[in-house]
Amino acid sequence: MFLPKVDAPVNIPSRSTVKQLEYLGETRVNLMEYNSIDELLRNNQAWVAEKLALDPTYFEKLSSGQSPPFLYIGCSDSRLPLTNFTRTEPGELFVHRNIANQISLTDINFLAVLEYAILHLQVQHIIVCGHYDCGGIKAALEGRTIGIIDNWVNPIRELYLQKRDEIDALPTRQERLDRLAEINVVAQVKNLYQTSIMRQVLSQQKAPMVHGWLLDIRTGLIKDLNISTLQWQLYPCPLLLEFRLYTILNDEH
Ligand SMILES: [Zn+2]
């Protein structure tokens, strides 16, 4: 069996990790301890052995295909593997992640994931999960010029500018950031309902249930925002409405 040689110091954050935290507006001392790259491979071998000890057919079953009940749309932040926070196993979550868990109607990557999840995998639930202490939210709220991420989070900055009176009235920076993170999840759930794929399955009454969550990185707990999606389910797509009017008018003649 291949066993990688350990020749690098362990449990020391790499310079690039520290740099990345600064890039996202973080300046705190990082207290996390990290595995070395060689440890990742050894951990993998140990995990496989544990799984096989519990169930010799585990990987045979895993490789037979996927039928996940959940699509998880989350932030790219390294602290948010939802599988750990929810004790879910490989095969349970279909995943799309990007900075600040955004749903963009022009993001072909996201739209392909969404279409595959809904039409082919037939997921029963879509979870849009933001989180507190999000670097993308900080970049949007504070308008720092730090590169391409500014372009990416600009829709969230627009949300902030729309709700500026409400957000700026909050007494602390943390409360302002937390509120924008919540507003962002609501906006992304709304965006989800604007996609043609969701429109299609809604009209067929086959749409999955949609949930807006926030993961509180400070406690590890998930908060369900209990977003009512009915308001967006009922809005007819303007193009569809136009098509119906056209059909009605033509039927009259
Ligand atoms: Zn984030």
Asked, for residue 38, whether it belongs to a domain, the answer is no
Whole-number Å distance, alpha carbon 245 to ligand 1 midpoint, is 43
- Total count of residues recorded for the chain: 253
H-assigned helices in the chain: 15-23, 37-54, 58-62, 82-86, 108-115, 135-142, 148-152, 154-162, 164-168, 173-194, 196-203, 230-234, 238-252
Residues 60-116 pLDDT 10s? 999 999 999 999 999 999 998 899 999 999 999 999 999 999 999 999 999 999 999
Residue 227's pLDDT is what?
92
Q: How many domains does the chain have?
A: 1
Residues 145-171 pLDDT 10s? 678 999 999 999 999 999 999 999 999
Torsion, CA 114, CA 118, CA 120, CA 123, rounded to 10: 120
Asked, for residue 14, whether it belongs to a domain, the answer is no
Q: Domain span at residue 243?
A: 67-252
Asked, for residue 87, whether it belongs to a domain, the answer is yes
**Token match 């906006």: residue?**
187
Token couple for 135: 């670097």
Q: Calculate ∠ Cα 137-74-21, nearest 5°.
A: 50
Whole-number Å distance, alpha carbon 78 to ligand 1 midpoint, is 9
Q: What is the CATH number of the domain that holds 210?
A: 3.40.1050.10
Whole-number Å distance, alpha carbon 100 to ligand 1 midpoint, is 5
Asked, for residue 210, whether it belongs to a domain, the answer is yes
Whole-number Å distance, alpha carbon 108 to ligand 1 midpoint, is 21
pLDDT tier at 9, thresholds 50, 70, 90: very low
Instruction: Using alpha carbons, list the distances in angstroms from residue 175 to 178, 206, 226.
Output: 5, 38, 20
β-partners of residue 72 are 95, 127
Whole-number Å distance, alpha carbon 163 to ligand 1 midpoint, is 20
Q: For 189-248, give the DSSP string.
A: HHHHHHSHHHHHHHHTT-PPEEEEEEEETTTTEEEE-----HHHHHSPPHHHHHHHHHHH
Residue 241's pLDDT is what?
54
Asked, for residue 34, whether it belongs to a domain, the answer is no
Residue 13's pLDDT is what?
46
Tell me which residues are annotated as active site.
75, 77, 79, 131, 134
Please determine, for residue 19, whether its predicted confidence score (pLDDT) is greater than 50: no
CA 170 – CA 150 distance, rounded (Å): 24
Asked, for residue 47, whether it belongs to a domain, the answer is no
CA 218 – CA 213 distance, rounded (Å): 15
Asked, for residue 54, whether it belongs to a domain, the answer is no
Q: Which one has a higher pLDDT value, 32 or 27?
A: 32
Whole-number Å distance, alpha carbon 143 to ligand 1 midpoint, is 16
pTM over 0.85: no
User: Do 75 and 127 touch, CB atoms closer than 8 A?
Assistant: no
Residue 209 neighbours by CB under 8 Å, 6+ apart: 124, 125, 126
Residue 37's pLDDT is what?
94
The pLDDT mean for the chain works out to 86
Asked, for residue 52, whether it belongs to a domain, the answer is no
Whole-number Å distance, alpha carbon 24 to ligand 1 midpoint, is 9
User: Do 131 and 182 touch, CB atoms closer than 8 A?
Assistant: no
Q: Calculate ∠ Cα 14-17-20, nearest 5°.
A: 150
